[in-house]
Amino acid sequence: MKTIAIFGYGQRGAIYASYAVAHPQEFKLVAIIENNQARIMEAKRNCKGVPVFERYEDFLKMRYTVDLVVICTQDAQHREHAVAMMNAGYDLLLEKPIANNPEDCLSIYRTCKRLGRKVLVCHVLRYTPFYSAIKKIIKAGELGDIVSIHASENVGYFHYAHSYVRGPWRRSDESSPMILAKCCHDMDIFCWLLSRKCVSVASYGSLSFYKQENAPKGSAEFCSECALKECPYRAQELYTSPDPVRNQFARYFCARGQSEENILADLRKTQYDRCVFRSDNDVVDHQVTIMEFEKGSTVCHTMTAFSQEIYRDIKIYGTKAELYGHMEHNLIEVRPFGAPSRQVIPELPQNAVGGHCGGDEEMMRSIYRVLCGQEDDSVSYLDVSVESHLMAFAAEQSRLNGGCVQIDDLKN
Ligand SMILES: NC(=O)c1ccc[n+]([C@@H]2O[C@H](COP(=O)([O-])OP(=O)(O)OC[C@H]3O[C@@H](n4cnc5c(N)ncnc54)[C@H](O)[C@@H]3O)[C@@H](O)[C@H]2O)c1
C-alpha cells in the first residue's frame, strides 16, 4: 500500500481522494490540506478520520511520511505549493499545468532537479483506454510512419461558459492562457503518440463571441435578473441540469447538499450567475495551432468553445494507414491502404472514479504500479511534461505576437 496527501480538496483533489478511499489496498490517504470551510466539511464527510489542515505549514510540522503529495490547488499557486512540498522532502503528483508561466515552470523544474525529487504530472489523457489503444496501434506499426495529425478539442458551449467565461480559468493573468489550461494535454498527447519532439509552433485565435458587444438586447448583468429565459447560457438551467457532467459544475459555488433549492440560492449574484456577455473573461474562445515535429511530421490542433457537446477527435495519417478516433464515443477506426478498415472499441473501466473517459481512474492505477516499481510508459514525469508546456507557451507567444516560435528558443 502507498500513502498520499491531497493538497487542495477541490474538484480534482476530491477525485484523487475518492480513488484512495475506494482502493484502500492501493492508497492510504494520510492527510488533506484545504482552506475553504465548505470544502473542509465535505472532505471530512467523504474521507472519515483523515486529518484536514487549513495551512500547509501545519501539515509540514507533522512530518508525515507519504509517497506522494498530490498538488491540486489552482494553476497560479502551483509554484509556491510544489516548491514548499519539495523543499520539505516530498515527491509530487502535480496537477497540470505545471505552472501558468514559463518562469514558474522552470522554477519547479529546477527545484525538482536540485533536490532529486520525483514529480509526476497529471496528463490524464494518456491513461484513457482510448489514447492507450491508439498508442498500441502506432507501436505495432499498423499506421507506418506518422506523417501528420489533425486533432480537435471541442470544449462544449456550456463547459466553456462555466470554466472559461465565469469560472477559475476565465482570465489568463489570474490562471493560464487557454492553450495551456485546456490544451497542454493535447500537446502532451502529440509528443507521446509521435515519440518525437516539437520543433516549432504557430498559432491564431481570439475571444470573438463572449464579450459585451454581443450581449443580447434586454439581457441583464446576472441571469437571475434576466428576462431572456430562452438563452442557452442561462445559469439557472445549466447548473440544475440533470446531465451529470453539467451538474457537477455547481460544486464550484455550492458545497452543501446539491438540491435544486440549494444550488439556486447559492448561485444568485455570484460570478457563476453572470451573463456570459458581461463577465471579465479574456481567454480565447477559438484557437488553431500548427506544429512541426522532428523528421518533418506536422500537427494541426483546433480548440473551440462552439460545440454542442464536449469531445475530442483525432485523425492520424501514416504511410500505411489512416486512423480516425472519437474519444467520447470510444471509437477508433483504422483504415489501411489496400485493405478493409477495422474498428477498435477500447475497454472502459467499470464504475470509474472521476472523468476523462476513464483517464482519472487509470492514471491512479498506473501511478500505484509505478510506485511499486513496475514499468508504465504512460506515466509522465516532469522532464517530459515540460515539453508540452513549452509548446503551449510558444503557441501563446505566436498568437499574441505573430510569427512562428522555435521551441529551442524558449529553452535558453
Ligand atoms: N488533469 C486535468 O485534466 C485537470 C482538469 C481540471 C483541472 N485541472 C487542474 O487541477 C487544479 C485544480 O483544479 P480544480 O478544478 O480542482 O480547482 P478548485 O478550485 O476546485 O480546487 C482548488 C482547491 O484548492 C484549495 N486551496 C487553494 N489554496 C489553498 C491553500 N493555500 N491551502 C489549502 N487549500 C487551498 C481551494 O480552496 C480549492 O478547494 C488546477 O491547476 C487545474 O488547472 C486539471
Residue in the structure block whose three cell numbers are 516499481: 373
Ligand 1 centroid–CA 38 distance in Å is 14
R_g of the chain, CA atoms, integer Å: 21
* pLDDT digits 0-9 by tens, 317-366: 999 999 999 999 999 999 999 999 999 999 887 777 777 778 888 899 99
Q: How confident is the model at residue 233 (pLDDT cuts 50, 70, 90)?
A: very high
**Poorest-pLDDT segment among 113-127, 208-222, 254-268, 392-406:** 254-268
CA-77 nearest atom, ligand 1? 28
Q: What's the pLDDT at 411?
A: 79
Side-chain half-sphere exposure of 25, counting CA atoms within 13 A: 2
Between CA 54 and CA 58 the distance in angstroms is: 8
Q: For atom 36 of ligand 1, which residue has the closest CA?
A: 8
Please give the mean pLDDT across all residues of the chain: 94
Q: Which atom of ligand 1 is nearest to the CA of 14?
A: 16
The confidence score (pLDDT) of residue 308 equals 96
Q: Are 30 and 5 in contact (CB under 8 A)?
A: yes
pLDDT computed for residue 299 by the predictor:
98
pLDDT confidence of residue 291 = 98
Residue 287 has φ and ψ, to the nearest 5°, of -155, 135
Angle of CA points 355, 153, 345, to nearest 5° = 60
The SS3 assignment for 288 reads strand
All 3 cell numbers of residue 134? 491508439
Domains of the chain in sequence order: 2-121 (3.40.50.720), 128-210+281-354+382-411 (3.30.360.10), 214-273 (no CATH)
Give residue ranges with CB within 6 A of ligand 1: 8-13, 33-36, 39, 56, 72-75, 77, 95-96, 122, 124, 168, 181, 356
Q: What are phi and psi of 342, to 5 degrees?
A: -135, 145
How confident is residue 132, by pLDDT bands cut at 50, 70 and 90?
A: very high
Give the nearest ligand 1 atom to 11 CA.
16
- Whether 208 has a pLDDT exceeding 90, the answer reads yes
Do 397 and 289 meet the contact criterion of CB atoms below 8 Å apart?
A: no
> What mean pLDDT comes out for the span 287-296?
97
- Asked if 252 contacts 272 with a C-beta cutoff of 8 angstroms, the reply is yes
CA of residue 72 to ligand 1 center, whole Å: 4
Closest CA to 318 of 138, 134, 146, 191: 146
pLDDT for position 287: 98
How many whole angstroms separate alpha carbon 133 and alpha carbon 326?
A: 12
Tell how many helices (H) and how many strands (E) occur in the chain.
15, 15
- The 10s digit of each residue's pLDDT in 246-279 is 778 998 888 777 889 999 999 999 999 999 999 9
- Name the residue among 288, 244, 290, 240 with its Cα closest to residue 267: 240
Residue with the nearest Cα to atom 24 of ligand 1? 8
Instruction: Report the atom number in ligand 1 closest to the C-alpha of 168.
Output: 19
